Structure 1
Amino acid sequence: MKELWTTMASLMAIYAFSQTLFHTILPPNIRFTLLKLFHHFFTSFSSYFYYDITEIEGVNTNELYNAVHLYLSSAASSSCSATSTNRLSVTRHLNSSNITFGLSHNHRLTDEFNGVNLVWEHTVTTRQNQTFSWRQLPEEKRNFTLRVNKRDKHYILEPYLKYIFEKGNEIKRKTEDRLLYTNSRGGSLDARGQPWESVPFKHPSTFETLAMDPDKKNEIMLDLTDFANGEAFYKRAGRAWKRGYLLYGPPGTGKSSMIAAMANYLGYDVYDLELTEVQSNLELRKLLMKTSSKSIIVIEDIDCSIDLANRKEMSSLCNNNLDHDVATDTGNNDNSVTLSGLLNFTDGLWSSCGSERIFVFTTNHIEKLDPALVRSGRMDVHVCMSYCSFESLKILLKNYLGFMSTNDDVETEELRRLEEVVEAAEITPADVSEVLIRNRKDKPKALRELVETLSRKAEENKMPRRQKAEVEEVEKRELGNGTVVGGGCAGEDGGRRCSRDMILHGKKMTI
């Protein structure tokens, strides 16, 4: 035993002497090269390659690290049995009801892509010093290490990392709070130096709750899905990845709810552009450049937001050629937003500064809009937000009264009467909602009052225009400051209903 300890002590002394001699004789750069060659010699016999993805590269956050973190958290929570570890971290963020699983520190998880197994390891170490004193880095250094078999790395690595980055961004978009932006007066900047101010977007409207013909909703949802999945198509076709929607119809028909439903369906942020606060075409372009991809840019009441008289004044000079948009400027572009500036905003070169954007215009008077503004390529989809049909009325009954179906003879009779008068009543979803909200705790009373309201509206619509105006005036006096909603989608014919047509992909489709 004594001889063994003597031998070990001798070996340690020889090692210490050799290390001292090694550091004394060889300069640091040569030592580093030898160690690198030594490491390369032994790793050349390994069957794997290892790739480190650190949380912070220099002073910048590594977006790929964040994408990997979200992707592995989703994989861990959806299929824990597929992991090669029995330890996962569980997290719930403030003001969130979602519980997420993640890869614990210094543990591994196995993933599969195109039939290949890949191993992830999460490593956390203590940061020794702060290199950049002007920016306080986290005390812990975090990174993911990906282990890939050498025979697979050439064809699997790049597609796999691209897939993870896309999936991570998709998960982020679906889980994080979406934002509602608005532009400030005169393009002034907020505390972050941005021309947009934002608040969390919490509008609850969805296509399920939207009071609209189901077939029409399905057409719109399919169009939105095709757009969101159409990156390769738009690139191949040489088109900017954007799409324009025009929502038109009387007030109270759900145009704002439609925009919220679109944002919730796609998971996009919403930019509510107030044109009356924009001072010039240049400022309009700057606002567009500061919008993010995967967003909906909204201009409500477009007919009231910009003076379109310049188009009418110049139309004779342009020989009614509505595609000569640049010729419509009046010379005061530096101090106002012109039609030409708006057209370039939606369909010019500047509109391609970014991708996956949807432009939405709304109006109560489509006949006031210049044809150049609403043609295909600018406003690709025209959606008429009309009065209540029986199908949309049933959606409102379900939303406010929980009304699905009934075996009650009285309620069945009320539904039959509603079906008979709803088309002739020409009543908006907003008016119907007000009746249902007032009586939401008493379903029979709500149905009775709704039948009475629709019947009265239907009778009024049969009256001559002059007599109808007298009735509306009496109602206004009785309601004080109340407003009677009437009129059609557009034009001077107050009793005319808007058509139920929508233009999709440049083709007119009857819905």
Structure 2
Amino acid sequence: MKEIWTTLASIMGVWAFFQSLMHNIFPAEIRLIFQKTFNQFINYFSVYCYYEITEIDGVNTNELYDAVQLYLSTSASIAGNRLSLTRLLNSSALTFSLSNHDRVVDNYKNVPVVWEHFVMQRQSQTISWRPLPEDKRVFTLRVKKKDKSIILDSYLDFIMEKANELKRKNQDRLIYTNSGGGVMDPRGMIPWESVPFKHPSTFDTLAMDPGKKAEILDDLLGFAKGESFYQRTGRAWKRGYLLYGPPGTGKSSMIAAMANFLGYDIYDLELTGVNNNSELRKLFMKTSSKSIIVIEDIDCSINLTNRNDKKNDHVNAIPGIPNEGIEDMGNKITLSGLLNFSDGLWSCCGSERIFVFTTNHVEKIDPALLRSGRMDMHIHMSYCSFSALKILLKNYLGFDDEGSLKSETLKELEELIGKANITPADVSEILIKNTRDDEKAVKELIRELKIRGEMIKCSKKDDVNVEYVEKDNEEKYVDGDAHEDDLGNK
């Protein structure tokens, strides 16, 4: 052992003497050439190659550095020895990151890669328009040369994708509104204002038929994972949904469930606050990717009624303005502008956006707005069904499908719910009032369903009687005309 240390010390001494000799005899240019040649010689026989990813690339922030830091946080929390804890803005979770000179081993497609983090003191700064941090932070990626193509072709893209998923998962949802009183920035007015979105609605708690719910979930998943499909087919990566049905059937809860399921932000667009088509385009350009753009009660927001509905022409017509134009309380958005907003050239500015329109009267909307490409999937939010009722009973009273209620009670509820046009919102209100007494809640619900069923039954009878009377009067009127004609002829 003593001989080994003696030999090693001799080698180091010879190397130090050689470096001193080189420094004193050869000029700097020759030394630089020698150093470069020596490094190339060493790298030629090395089985590894190295890549550096710096935090600041020149004067710009390197997005890849942030992505690597977030991606490695999942591995570093388990494998790292010395970790740094951070919490991102608008984030609900802590993230781990590697400290100085700490390393972690990752595995991608059975290819081992080694990440190491270095924090170095930055040299004296040159004059720049942006002050740089004192420390220079660098991730070093070490991989075998034979695996170089795999890493460069797909591994870094994989890291960016995973980092974006983690960011959306950890970041709080935001809901935006175009209030018209935005905050000033150096480039002008910011048209959107945001607050944290904390709506608890999910597809598990949504009162809807399970089959229809599964169909919507499959469609959303297909959209979220369909980037390659949209690129291959030459279509903009967007999708439109129309939610229609009576008030209180869960249209707003559906939007919240979609946002929570996909991890998207919501832009609640108030059309009455938009002055013209140009402003509408600017609002759209300020929306981010991976977002849901919502226009609620589109039939009430502005005058976009069905142009083919001749019955409403006298109501919708405005003197001097075509029927497809809108000028209501100073609002000058046209139907053409809204169509271009949802399916025109401007709709391609960005990616992974969902448009959701809601209405209580789908028959009032112009067919041009309802076609595929603008509203791809039409979802009817109907009155409460028996399957939706069971979900509400589970949400509010904790009843499950394994016998929390008697079979006779369930059978009665199933029979009554089909005859009473009651919305999930009305059922929820009855259950909320009686959450402390489950038995009373069920009795109140049964009583309300019976009352509504009787009202519908009576209204149907009245409609039949009115129809019979009108038909009878019409026959008498026709007979009377015929009798008078006969007398006149005589």
TM-score (norm 2): 0.81
Aligned-residue offset at 1:425: 1.3
Aligned-residue offset at 1:374: 0.5
2:448 paired residue number: 453
Aligned-residue offset at 1:224: 0.4
Output one character per residue of 1:446-471: Cα deviation in whole Å (capped at 9) or x when no partner. Answer: 11111111111111111227989xxx
1:121 paired residue number: 116
1:93 paired residue number: 87
Larger of the two Rg values belongs to structure: 2
1:217 paired residue number: 213
Output one character per residue of 1:368-396: Cα deviation in whole Å (capped at 9) or x when no partner. Answer: 10000011111010001111111111111
What secondary structure does 1:206 align onto?
Answer: coil
Q: 1:181–1:207: structure 2 CA closer, same or farther, 3 Å change rule?
A: same
1:70 paired residue number: 70
Q: 1:124–1:460: structure 2 CA closer, same or farther, 3 Å change rule?
A: same
Deviates more, 1:114-123 or 1:340-349: 114-123
User: Which amino acid counterpart does residue 43 of structure 2 have in structure 1?
Assistant: T
What secondary structure does 2:419 align onto?
Answer: helix
1:436 paired residue number: 431
Q: Work out whether residues 393 and 399 of structure 2, in 8 Å CA contact, stay in contact via their aligned partners in 1.
A: yes
Aligned-residue offset at 1:237: 1.3
1:46 paired residue number: 46
Aligned-residue offset at 1:42: 2.4
Aligned-residue offset at 1:443: 0.9
Q: Work out whether residues 75 and 104 of structure 2, in 8 Å CA contact, stay in contact via their aligned partners in 1.
A: no
Deviates more, 1:330-339 or 1:120-129: 330-339
1:422 paired residue number: 417
Q: 1:268–1:15: structure 2 CA closer, same or farther, 3 Å change rule?
A: closer
Task: Say whether 1:400 aligns with 2:396.
Answer: yes
Task: Say whether 1:204 aligns with 2:190.
Answer: no
- For residue 160 of structure 1, the aligned residue among 151, 155, 174 is 155
Aligned-residue offset at 1:416: 2.7
Output one character per residue of 1:61-91: Cα deviation in whole Å (capped at 9) or x when no partner. Answer: 11111111121112344xx4xx5xx515263
Q: Distance in 2 between matches of 1:372 and 1:9?
A: 85
Deviates more, 1:418-427 or 1:125-134: 125-134
1:490 paired residue number: none
Aligned-residue offset at 1:57: 1.1
Task: Say whether 1:300 aligns with 2:299.
Answer: no
Q: Distance in 1 between matches of 2:33 and 2:275?
A: 62
Q: CA RMSD in A?
A: 3.3
Q: Distance in 2 between matches of 1:14 and 1:58?
A: 36
Q: Work out whether residues 70 and 95 of structure 2, in 8 Å CA contact, stay in contact via their aligned partners in 1.
A: no
User: Which amino acid counterpart does residue 267 of structure 2 have in structure 1?
Assistant: Y
User: Which amino acid counterpart does residue 40 of structure 2 have in structure 1?
Assistant: H
Task: Say whether 1:353 aligns with 2:349.
Answer: yes
Q: Work out whether residues 250 and 381 of structure 2, in 8 Å CA contact, stay in contact via their aligned partners in 1.
A: yes
Q: 1:35–1:386: structure 2 CA closer, same or farther, 3 Å change rule?
A: same
Q: Work out whether residues 310 and 328 of structure 1, in 8 Å CA contact, stay in contact via their aligned partners in 2.
A: no
Q: Work out whether residues 344 and 351 of structure 1, in 8 Å CA contact, stay in contact via their aligned partners in 2.
A: yes
Percent of aligned pairs sharing the same letter: 61
User: Which amino acid counterpart does residue 226 of structure 2 have in structure 1?
Assistant: G
User: Which amino acid counterpart does residue 359 of structure 2 have in structure 1?
Assistant: T
Structure 1 unpaired stretches of 5+: 315-326, 469-511
2:364 paired residue number: 368
Q: Distance in 1 between matches of 2:39 and 2:397?
A: 72
What secondary structure does 1:162 align onto?
Answer: helix
Structure 2 unpaired stretches of 5+: 1-8, 311-321, 464-490
Q: 1:11–1:38: structure 2 CA closer, same or farther, 3 Å change rule?
A: closer
TM-score (norm 1): 0.78
- For residue 252 of structure 1, the aligned residue among 248, 251, 271 is 248
Q: Distance in 2 between matches of 1:12 and 1:437?
A: 83
Q: 1:335–1:396: structure 2 CA closer, same or farther, 3 Å change rule?
A: closer
Q: Work out whether residues 50 and 148 of structure 1, in 8 Å CA contact, stay in contact via their aligned partners in 2.
A: yes
2:277 paired residue number: 281
- The size of the alignment, in residue pairs, is 441
Output one character per residue of 1:301-329: Cα deviation in whole Å (capped at 9) or x when no partner. Answer: 01112222694699xxxxxxxxxxxx986
- For residue 23 of structure 2, the aligned residue among 15, 19, 25 is 19
Deviates more, 1:111-120 or 1:342-351: 111-120
